[in-house]
């Protein structure tokens, strides 16, 4: 995976993460490889327990004890807004303080369960505003807000003397905007709330002003999920990770949220990782896919290649085991068995006990992820053809 | 009354009281199932679909008399069971079982698989001791488990295996009818394929009748002979046809049009049904779908549409059924793209 860092916003190399549990060491990530191109929407797929969420948490350094990131490299390639230069950030060597900047501002995540987030006791608008307050420079917002207010009062003013006075004030703030001072707390709060309303508007909430005043339990699952996306996007992150963010929703509401993500990507240019086990969701929204199995990356390519020409036996199994809306089959093709326990993972290729193509080599030698065809990476000794 | 129907329900209603205030007065009622007529034919799989909260689970549980109906009639195997109680109810319950979405929640964690699966046999005085063990083993083998599993506990199994255990237990009393309530929603696609295949095999072997509830329309299509579509407590369409190709109710069409298509050539083509299911406490008047329906006319907010037979047992509850032009959904285009030979 060699490519210029201007094109790639996030890269993960040879990532190992373990959990030291009472039963033994869970080898959850075993050399994960992935990259996300700028502007792409990538699907991260695989069955339960394959390590999708642990990968996402590792990227944000949110793995908590007994879990531990053992080794590997995670690079976020930031583009300096002024100079346009690429600044690689080595996530695994960031300090706790630097991590606070990374989370939210550079990489944001939306989790699966909308019932547990956001915080139930705070109003939606206040919660988003708090995130904004913590991460964003609001000096310009505060001044813009003042100018807006003055302009409004100018419209309603008929007294010419007062008009002149207001105009002078506006001029003053315009001048101040060139190098704005730190705003006081009250102004900053108001500006943050204004941004929150804008974010709710961005995620197409009906009447965002009133939604901002509501509590999470007053919203439906779909609206709560949209509020979460609004919160995640409030700090204009370079990467948005959605971990099964639509899994609990009805197909109708899921379709609404997915369409929203597609629109947002175009509007604000965030790169997106969608973690899902639904191949339909991938086909619908992602232009790139990375398939994981038992803590390893097994295949990575453009979505259309994955669907027309999967090269890894596991990917093929995933695609064929699902009932298709166009088929009338009596029986479904099965992948035998289930995802292995990762305390004692299979040797060699971790898929070998379930693989119809396994050979002796597969039992002892771990296959490397290689670019078998242009732009198509596979980790398998006997790829399909 | 037809001999062919294992289950017949008429004007079935299930309302849940909504209480509030200090004296817990009834302040409203949830219209979970509202005036449903339905026949389930012996040996068939009747699929039930609809958005969350539309009353699928409540319908299934009320038919099994796990919930008491508010009004209406339930006939099971020729017998009116609407008001049965005590030993008579226990007797018919043996013939109807339910399998839930979350197998962990329906198995007692401190009881071995042998005793879990054998419990209905013991409780109903059918078998105990070694005879019970032999019967349980036979059941386990039917669902693909072995003797080695007999004395293990639920936590020692994977989700898919636990679902098999639940199915084995449901089969213990040799039932005629099983309600499957989202049996594979919490399993992976590989396990789902195994479970669905198993359920079809068992149906053939034991001549079972299924009511199969699921969110996943492709799965329901795969499993079902007929599909009932529910919206806010009512059946709006009941069809023996392919719902992806021949939907006649605007809600059904909207539902199938939202299904993500597993083919990147159709990316972004799924259609959006705007809004969400309204509260079942004060459901909309007339046709309950009218606030979201793109075809709604004045009449739709006033008159309740009846389920009408549009031919071949295809029932639709819409005033304008058969006259509406939905256009073609991307899902239809997708399905049709397989009818053309690849080199044509
Ligand atoms: N015990 C209860 N008390 C009060 N209301 C209930 C009760 N059980 C269900 N309801 C309500 O009845 C309606 C139908 O619920 P039901 O569980 O049957 O829906 P469902 O179609 O199975 O939904 P899902 O797809 O989410 O499982 C919902 O509005 C629900 O909140
Ligand atoms: N807190 C934890 N303690 C122990 N094991 C864990 C923990 N979190 C995840 N794992 C293990 O790591 C593996 C990958 O899990 P996860 O990333 O959650 O899978 P996915 O998101 O793909 O379903 C699994 O074997 C899981 O059991
Ligand atoms: S490496 Fe071997 S066992 Fe693994 S997927 Fe390829 S053929 Fe199957
Ligand atoms: S009856 Fe009217 S509102 Fe209801 S589905 Fe038909 S056209 Fe739409
Ligand atoms: Mg996960
Ligand atoms: Mg339900």
DSSP label at residue A46: -
A68 near A20, Cβ under 8 Å?
yes
> Residue B270: which of A284, A323, A330 has the nearest Cβ?
A284
Whole-angstrom CA distances from A32 to A15, A59, A296, A382, B99 are 5, 11, 5, 20, 38
CB of B127 less than 8 A from some CB of A: no
Residue A97 has pLDDT above 70, yes or no: yes
CB of B335 less than 8 A from some CB of A: yes
A91 and A146 assigned to the same domain: no
- The overall average pLDDT reported for chain B is 91
CB of B215 less than 8 A from some CB of A: yes
Which residue out of A30, A310, A313 has the highest number of ligand 3 atoms within 8 Å of its CB and is therefore the one to mutate?
A313
CB of B2 less than 8 A from some CB of A: no
Residue closest via CA to ligand 1's atom 1 equals: B16
Q: For residue A324, is it within any domain?
A: yes
- Helix pair A251-268, B250-257: axis angle to 10 deg: 50
- Nearest C-alpha neighbor of A306 from the set A37, A48, A33, A43: A43
pLDDT of residue B114: 95
B342 HSE (CA, 13 A, CB side): 1
CB of A66 less than 8 A from some CB of B: no
Q: For residue A12, is it within any domain?
A: yes
Size of interface A-B (CB pairs under 8 A): 138
- Cα A259 from Cα A251, distance rounded (Å): 12
Which residue out of B14, B36, B58, B216 has the highest number of ligand 1 atoms within 8 Å of its CB and is therefore the one to mutate?
B58
- Cα B168 from Cα B136, distance rounded (Å): 8
Q: How far is CA B300 from the centre of its chain?
A: 28
Q: Tell which of A263, A292, A325 to mutate to test the B interface (max B CBs under 10 Å).
A: A325
Interface contact flag, A331 B197, Cβ < 8 Å: yes
pLDDT of residue A257: 85
Residue B89 has pLDDT above 70, yes or no: yes
Question: What's chain A's length in residues?
Answer: 385
pLDDT of residue A115: 54
| Mean pLDDT along residues A102-112 | 87
Phi/psi-derived region of residue A334, left when phi > 0, alpha when psi is between -120 and 50, beta in every other case: beta
A69 and A145 assigned to the same domain: no
- Cα A239 from Cα A45, distance rounded (Å): 18
Q: For residue A279, is it within any domain?
A: yes
- Cα B104 from Cα B158, distance rounded (Å): 10
A86 and A22 assigned to the same domain: yes
Residue B296 Cβ < 6 Å to ligand 4 = yes
Residue A166 belongs to domain spanning: 139-176
Which ranges in A156-278 belong to alpha helices (H)?
160-176, 185-202, 208-212, 221-233, 251-268
Residue B342 has pLDDT above 70, yes or no: no
pLDDT of residue A201: 87
The domain total for chain A is 2
pLDDT tens, position by position, A38-72:
999 999 999 888 999 999 999 999 999 999 999 99
Which tops the pLDDT comparison, A111 or A143?
Answer: A143
A352 and A256 assigned to the same domain: yes
Q: Which residues of B touch A280 (CB under 8 A)?
A: 259-262
Q: How far is the CA of A326 from the centre of ligand 5 (A)?
A: 29
Which tops the pLDDT comparison, A339 or A168?
Answer: A168
- Cα B62 from Cα B76, distance rounded (Å): 12
pLDDT of residue B344: 43
Neighbours of A262 (CB within 10 A): 16
**Among A176, A204, A231, where does a domain finish?**
A176
ipTM, interface predicted TM-score of the complex: 0.84
| Mean pLDDT along residues B42-70 | 95
A154 and A293 assigned to the same domain: no
A98 and A49 assigned to the same domain: yes
A153 and A102 assigned to the same domain: no
Q: Which residue of B has its CA nearest to A335?
A: B190
- The overall average pLDDT reported for chain A is 90
Q: For residue A215, is it within any domain?
A: no
Q: For residue A181, is it within any domain?
A: no
- The CA distance from A55 to the nearest CA of chain B, in Å, is 19
pLDDT tens, position by position, B172-228:
999 999 999 998 887 788 889 989 999 999 999 999 999 999 989 999 999 999 999
Assign B293 a pLDDT band (cuts: 50, 70, 90): very high
pLDDT of residue B1: 52
A166 and A299 assigned to the same domain: no
Q: How far is CA A299 from the centre of its chain?
A: 20
Q: For residue A202, is it within any domain?
A: no
Which tops the pLDDT comparison, B158 or B90?
Answer: B90
Prediction pTM value: 0.87
Interface contact flag, A252 B273, Cβ < 8 Å: yes
pLDDT tens, position by position, B112-142:
999 999 999 999 899 989 999 999 999 999 8
Residue A226 has pLDDT above 90, yes or no: no
pLDDT of residue B343: 53
A325 and A244 assigned to the same domain: yes
pLDDT of residue A113: 63
pLDDT tens, position by position, A247-302:
777 888 888 888 888 888 888 889 999 999 889 999 999 999 999 999 999 999 99
Question: Which of A253-267, B299-313, B329-343 is the least confident region?
Answer: B329-343
A128 near A199, Cβ under 8 Å?
yes
pLDDT of residue A335: 85
Q: How far is the CA of B146 from the centre of ligand 3 (A)?
A: 28
**Binding pocket residue ranges, ligand 1, CB within 6 Å:** B 16, 30, 32, 50, 52-58, 280
SS3 per residue for chain B: CCCCEEEEEEEEEEEEEEEECCCCEEEEEEEEEEEEEEEEECCCEEEEECCCCCCHHHHHHHHCCCCCCCEEEEEECCEECCCCCHHHHHHHHCCEEEECCCCCCCCCCCCCHHHHHHHHHHHCCCCCHHHHHHHHHHHHHHCCCCHHHCCCCHHHCCHHHHHHHHHHHHHCCCCCEEEEECCCCCCCHHHHHHHHHHHHHHHHHHCCEEEEECCCHHHHHHHCCEEEEEECCEEEEEECCCHHHHCCCHHHHHHHHCCCCCCHHHCCCCCCCCCCCCCCCCCCCCCCCHHHCCCCCHHHHCCCCCCEECCCCCEECCCCCCCCCCCCCHHHHHHHCCCCCCCC
- Cα A238 from Cα A257, distance rounded (Å): 19
Interface contact flag, B262 A307, Cβ < 8 Å: yes
pLDDT of residue B211: 98
Q: How would you list the strands of the sheet with B234-239, edge to edge?
A: B96-99, B177-181, B209-213, B45-49, B226-231, B234-239, B315-316, B308-309
| Mean pLDDT along residues A227-244 | 89
Question: Which of A104-113, A276-285, B67-76 is the least confident region?
Answer: A104-113
> What is the CATH number for A264?
3.40.50.300
pLDDT of residue B33: 96
A152 and A250 assigned to the same domain: no
| Mean pLDDT along residues A159-171 | 91
- Cα A380 from Cα A41, distance rounded (Å): 25
Q: Are strands B209-213 and B25-41 parallel, antiparallel or unpaired?
A: unpaired
A265 and A339 assigned to the same domain: yes
> Residue B189: which of A259, A277, A326 has the nearest Cβ?
A277
pLDDT of residue B274: 82
Q: How far is the CA of B59 from the centre of ligand 1 (A)?
A: 9
Q: For residue A322, is it within any domain?
A: yes
Which residue out of B55, B98, B251 has the highest number of ligand 1 atoms within 8 Å of its CB and is therefore the one to mutate?
B55
pLDDT of residue A118: 63
In the stretch 75-114 of chain B, residues with CB closer than 8 A to chain A read none
- Nearest C-alpha neighbor of B278 from the set B269, B289, B286: B289
CB neighbour class for B322 (10 Å; exposed up to 12, middle 13-18, buried from 19): exposed
pLDDT of residue B113: 94
**Among A176, A203, A227, where does a domain finish?**
A176
A152 and A71 assigned to the same domain: no
| Mean pLDDT along residues B318-335 | 94
Q: Report the share of chain A in percent with pLDDT over 90.
A: 56
- Nearest C-alpha neighbor of A247 from the set B193, B270, B332, B187: B187
**Among A127, A160, A176, where does a domain finish?**
A176
CB of A255 less than 8 A from some CB of B: yes
Q: How far is CA A214 from the centre of its chain?
A: 25
pLDDT tens, position by position, A294-341:
999 999 999 999 999 999 999 999 999 988 888 888 889 988 887 888
Neighbours of A308 (CB within 10 A): 11
Q: For residue A120, is it within any domain?
A: no
């Amino acid at each position: 995976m060699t490519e210029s860092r201007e094109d790639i916003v996030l890269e993960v190399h040879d990532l190992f993460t373990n959990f030291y549990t009472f039963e033994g060491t869970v080898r959850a990530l075993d050399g994960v490889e992935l990259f996300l191109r700028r502007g792409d929407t990538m699907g991260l797929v695989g069955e339960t327990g394959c390590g999708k969420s642990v990968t996402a948490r590792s990227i944000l350094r949110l793995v908590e004890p007994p879990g531990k990131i053992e080794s590997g490299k995670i690079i976020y390639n930031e583009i300096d807004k002024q100079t346009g230069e690429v600044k690689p950030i080595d996530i695994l060597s960031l300090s706790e303080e630097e991590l606070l900047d990374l989370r939210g501002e550079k990489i944001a995540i939306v989790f699966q369960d909308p019932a547990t987030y956001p915080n139930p006791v705070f109003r939606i608008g206040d919660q988003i505003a708090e995130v904004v307050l913590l991460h964003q420079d609001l000096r310009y917002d505060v001044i813009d807000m003042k100018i807006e207010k003055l302009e409004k009062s100018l419209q309603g003013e008929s007294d010419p003397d007062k008009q002149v006075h207001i105009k002078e004030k506006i001029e003053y703030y315009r001048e101040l905007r060139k190098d704005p001072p730190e705003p006081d707390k009250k102004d900053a709060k108001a500006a943050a709330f204004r941004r929150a309303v804008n974010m709710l508007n961005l995620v197409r909430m009906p009447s965002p002003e009133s939604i901002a005043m509501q509590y999470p339990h007053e919203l439906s699952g779909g609206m709560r999920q949209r509020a979460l996306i609004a919160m995640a996007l409030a700090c204009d992150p370079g990467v948005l990770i959605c971990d099964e963010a639509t899994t609990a929703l009805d197909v109708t509401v899921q379709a609404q949220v997915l369409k929203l993500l597609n629109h947002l990507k175009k509007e604000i240019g965030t790169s997106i990782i969608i973690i899902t086990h639904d191949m339909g969701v991938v086909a619908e929204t992602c232009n790139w896919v990375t398939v994981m199995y038992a803590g390893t990356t097994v295949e990575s390519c453009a979505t259309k290649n994955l669907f027309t020409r999967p090269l890894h036996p596991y990917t093929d199994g995933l695609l064929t085991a699902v009932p298709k809306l166009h088929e009338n089959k009596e029986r479904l093709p099965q992948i035998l068995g289930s995802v292995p326990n990762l305390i004692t993972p299979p040797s060699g290729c971790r898929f070998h006990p379930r693989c119809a193509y396994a050979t002796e080599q597969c039992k002892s030698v771990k296959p490397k992820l290689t670019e078998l065809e242009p732009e198509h990476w596979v980790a398998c000794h006997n790829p399909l053809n | 009354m037809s001999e062919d129907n294992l289950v017949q329900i008429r004007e079935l209603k299930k309302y849940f009281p909504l209480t509030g205030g200090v004296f817990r007065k009834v302040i409203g009622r949830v219209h979970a199932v509202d005036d449903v007529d339905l026949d389930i034919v012996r040996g068939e799989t009747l699929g039930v679909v609809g958005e969350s909260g539309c009353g699928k689970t409540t319908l299934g549980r009320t038919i099994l008399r796990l919930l008491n109906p508010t009004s209406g009639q339930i006939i099971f195997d020729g017998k009116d069971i609407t008001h049965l109680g005590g030993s008579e109810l226990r007797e018919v319950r043996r013939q109807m079982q339910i399998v839930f979405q979350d197998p962990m929640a329906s198995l007692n964690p401190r009881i071995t698989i042998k005793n879990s699966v054998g419990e209905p046999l013991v409780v109903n005085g059918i078998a105990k001791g070694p005879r019970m063990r032999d019967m349980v083993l036979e059941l386990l083998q039917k669902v693909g488990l072995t003797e080695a599993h007999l004395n293990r506990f639920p936590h020692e199994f994977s989700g898919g295996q636990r679902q098999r255990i639940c199915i084995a237990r449901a089969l213990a009393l040799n039932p005629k009818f099983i309600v499957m309530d989202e049996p594979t929603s919490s399993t992976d696609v590989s396990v789902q394929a195994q479970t669905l295949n198993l359920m079809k095999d068992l149906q053939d072997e034991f001549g079972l009748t299924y009511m199969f509830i699921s969110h996943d329309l492709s799965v329901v299509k795969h499993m079902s002979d007929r599909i009932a579509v529910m919206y806010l407590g009512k059946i709006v369409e009941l069809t023996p046809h392919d719902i992806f190709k021949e939907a006649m109710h605007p809600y059904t069409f909207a539902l199938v049009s939202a299904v993500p298509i597993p083919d990147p050539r159709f990316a972004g083509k799924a259609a959006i049904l705007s809004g969400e299911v309204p509260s079942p406490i004060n459901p909309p008047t007339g046709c309950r779908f009218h606030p979201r329906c793109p075809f709604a006319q004045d009449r739709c907010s006033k008159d309740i549409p009846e389920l009408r037979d549009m031919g071949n047992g295809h029932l639709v509850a819409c005033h304008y059924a058969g006259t509406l032009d939905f256009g073609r959904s991307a899902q239809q285009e997708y399905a049709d793209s397989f009818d053309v030979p690849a080199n044509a």
